[in-house]
Amino acid sequence: MNRPPPREIFRRATARIYCFADSPELCRRLLAAGAQVIQLRHKTASDAEFRDLALRMQELVRAREDALLIVNDRVNIALAIGADGVHVGQRDLDASEVVRRAPPGMVIGVSARTPEEARRAEAAGATYVGAGSVFPTATKADARVIGLEGLRRVVAAVRLPVVAIGGITQATVREVLAAGARLCAVISAVNQAPDPAEALRRLLAACAELPGDQGDERGRGGGQEGGVADREGGQGGRPAAGA
């Protein structure tokens, strides 16, 4: 199978829901339901356990030409296993350092609650920014809610694709995408549903007819294709949300 580079797979993704999994079985079920971007997020696993999970899930994802596995936070593990991507928060390793260490084509996501944080991520060379929390969320009770207006401000501030996150459900997914998000990152509404695969199918159906161009044209001029790394010649031509 001639698999495209991860950043190209991310750019081409048509499924508008960014998923999360903490086990190979859930990963398998979400892929079967139509997931194309899955983040491995497991806050309590040891590094050894996390690495094992990442390798097993990566094998499942790479059996497909149109799916990606993004590793949450653990940059060293993501780099060691050659993951498709990595996502870091504002309190994690600096985005510019992640970009410097990442191989060509790797997807790099950075959390950004404000336009200023989003612009810094773009300048550092991120592939996308994760903006939120859009709504209150039980997954992160202390998350600062930015609302739809805050999301719009982040979208307007950068040329990168924006992944919205935080309390998004089937009832709100369309308005979040209409606010300019390229993807919606959803944890609770999928992972805590009685049937996560069916919940994902319903979310995908709810946003299937919406335009998907946010970040496509805008992103071609930004991120690792046109950001600091390219201008400085360090990693030119290279292409990384919690809810």
The active-site residue out of 11, 41, 120, 182 is 41
Domain that holds residue 228: 6-232
The mean pLDDT value of the chain amounts to 88
- Which whole number is the average pLDDT over 137-154? 89
Contacts of 91 (CB under 8 A, 6+ apart): none
Collapsing DSSP to helix, strand or coil, 126 comes out as coil
Residue 222 in domain: yes
pLDDT tens track for 32-54? 999 999 999 999 999 999 999 99
Overall size of the chain counted in residues:
243
The answer to whether residue 241 is domain-embedded is: no
Query: For 150-204, what is each residue's pLDDT tens digit?
Result: 999 999 999 999 999 999 999 999 999 999 999 999 999 999 999 999 999 999 9
Would you call 140 a catalytic residue per the annotation?
Answer: yes
What's the total number of domains in the chain? 1
The closest alpha carbon to 204, from 170, 168, 230, belongs to 170
- Examine residue 167 and state whether it is found in any structural domain, yes or no: yes
The yes-or-no verdict on residue 223 having pLDDT over 90 is: no
Told to judge if 218 belongs to the known catalytic residues of this protein, a careful annotator would answer no
Q: Is residue 204 part of a domain?
A: yes
111, 113, 120, 152: the active-site residue: 111
DSSP state of 138: G
CATH code of residue 83: 3.20.20.70
Q: Is the residue at 126 inside a domain?
A: yes
Tell me whether residue 111 is one of the annotated catalytic residues.
yes
171 domain residue, yes or no: yes
Mean pLDDT along residues 75-104: 95
Q: Which residues of 195-209 are buried (b: 16+ CB within 10 A; e: fewer)?
A: ebbebbbbbbebbee
Catalytically annotated residue among 140, 174, 201, 202? 140
In a domain, 77, yes or no: yes
- DSSP H stretches of helix in the chain: 6-12, 24-33, 47-61, 75-81, 95-101, 115-124, 147-157, 173-178, 188-191, 196-206, 216-220, 223-226, 228-232
- Beta strand pairing call for 107-111 and 183-185: unpaired
In a domain, 148, yes or no: yes
